[in-house]
């Protein structure tokens, strides 16, 4: 098919990312380039390299952002638990104070009971010689207070650790975001520096296949309802823009598209392509079925969804919308069936 011929991998940089397909298409559209065009060829290869690095940084950003979200939820839950436990402790202290006050007024308890209401009632309980000054009920309540204060101190310590980890995660998110933006800005500057004809050919290739070249998927069906729903969702996303760090519905990065598509089928996938690689049973490429996740490159830095007849749907890179491409567009790392 013409689609296959136009997007077949070139000799550039065998480990390159999805942008290589478009770059190969641009080179084919330009025809045989004279020696003087070598700088443009180098620029296209450099853009490809930058897009691949940006995609790797995007996956790292997605992972750090997901961790930051989880930590924010943990911190909020911890703060709620701490507030509830503090209210419980205040109520316990108030009850003990009322009992102690009544006993003191009736002469039934020594003034040293004030020790009970210090910040560390354990000091009192450790003094066995004073235990005969209180009744069994108060002793039980004091021990409950002691246990509650220990648990509160532990939860506060854990919350402090969670807050510190959240701050580190926020820092990592910001660093990955800056890396992505820098790579993409550099790639855009290089593209803008290309001659108009080269740039136009690249942009045309980035838009993917014309409608006449769409793959023939007649008669292809998914193995079960969940896979069929995920494939249908991925097809519904065709033409949506690549947006780094996005997981739909208006834009996607590669792993975000997979996560969103399977979410429409009621299945939760992890956020990054590295994690999605292990989110199911791995099968040989020769046994791939519609809905399977095809993970690319040794670093598992890119992922697409197999839809049959040697085609995947994926979000390639900035400037290229969600589209069909040949499954062998770049080195395949594994095939996973969620």
Structure tokens at 315: 């979000």
21 is annotated as an active-site residue: no
4 is annotated as an active-site residue: no
**Phi, psi at residue 337, to the nearest 5°?**
-105, 105
DSSP state of 14: T
Cβ count near 245 (within 10 Å): 18
Contact 169, 68 (CB under 8 A): yes
Measured distance CA(103)–CA(48) in Å, rounded: 82
254 is annotated as an active-site residue: yes
Beta pairing class for 323-326 and 302-308: unpaired
**Phi, psi at residue 188, to the nearest 5°?**
-65, -40
Query: Considering Cα of 274, then 275, then 279, then 281, what sign does the dihedral take?
Result: positive
Measured distance CA(27)–CA(194) in Å, rounded: 13
Of the candidates 54, 53, 44, 55, which has an alpha carbon nearest to the alpha carbon of residue 21? 44
Measured distance CA(62)–CA(329) in Å, rounded: 24
Beta bridge partners of 324: 313
Estimate to the nearest angstrom the gap between the alpha carbon of 158 and the chain centroid.
24
Catalytic residue among 4, 21, 176, 254: 254
Contact 131, 139 (CB under 8 A): yes
Count of all residues that appear for the chain in the document: 338
Give the C-alpha distances (Å, rounded to integers) separating 168 from 68, 175, 229, 245.
9, 11, 38, 19
Taking only Cα atoms into account, the Rg of the chain, rounded to an integer number of angstroms, comes to: 31
Active site residues: 254, 302, 314
């Amino acid at each position: 098919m013409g689609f296959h011929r136009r997007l077949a991998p070139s000799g550039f940089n065998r480990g390159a990312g999805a942008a290589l397909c478009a770059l190969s298409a641009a080179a084919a559209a330009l025809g045989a380039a004279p020696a003087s065009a070598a700088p443009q060829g180098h620029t296209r290869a450099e853009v490809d390299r930058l897009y691949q690095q940006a995609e790797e940084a995007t996956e790292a950003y997605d992972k750090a952002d997901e961790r930051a979200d989880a930590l924010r939820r943990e911190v909020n839950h911890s703060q709620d638990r701490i507030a509830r436990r503090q209210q419980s402790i205040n109520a316990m202290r108030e009850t003990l104070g009322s009992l102690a006050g009544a006993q003191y007024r009736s002469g039934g308890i020594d003034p040293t009971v004030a020790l009970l209401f210090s910040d560390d009632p354990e000091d009192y309980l450790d003094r066995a010689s004073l235990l005969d000054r209180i009744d069994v009920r108060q002793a039980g309540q004091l021990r409950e207070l002691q246990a509650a204060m220990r648990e509160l101190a532990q939860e506060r310590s854990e919350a402090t650790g969670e807050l510190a980890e959240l701050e580190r995660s926020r820092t990592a998110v910001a660093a990955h975001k800056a890396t992505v933006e820098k790579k993409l800005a550099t790639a855009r500057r290089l593209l803008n520096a290309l001659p108009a004809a080269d740039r136009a050919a690249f942009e045309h290739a980035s838009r993917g296949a014309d409608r006449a070249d769409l793959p023939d998927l007649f008669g292809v069906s998914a193995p079960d309802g969940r896979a069929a729903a995920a494939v249908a969702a991925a097809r519904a996303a065709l033409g949506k823009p690549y947006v780094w760090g996005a997981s739909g519905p208006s834009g996607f990065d590669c792993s975000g598209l997979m996560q969103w598509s399977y979410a429409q089928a009621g299945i939760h996938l992890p956020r990054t392509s590295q994690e999605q690689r292990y989110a199911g049973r791995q099968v040989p490429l020769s046994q791939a079925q519609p809905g399977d996740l095809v993970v690319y490159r040794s670093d598992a830095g890119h992922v697409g969804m197999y839809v049959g007849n040697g085609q995947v749907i994926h979000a390639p890179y900035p400037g290229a919308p969600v589209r069909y491409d040949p499954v062998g567009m770049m080195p395949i790392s594994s095939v996973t069936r969620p």
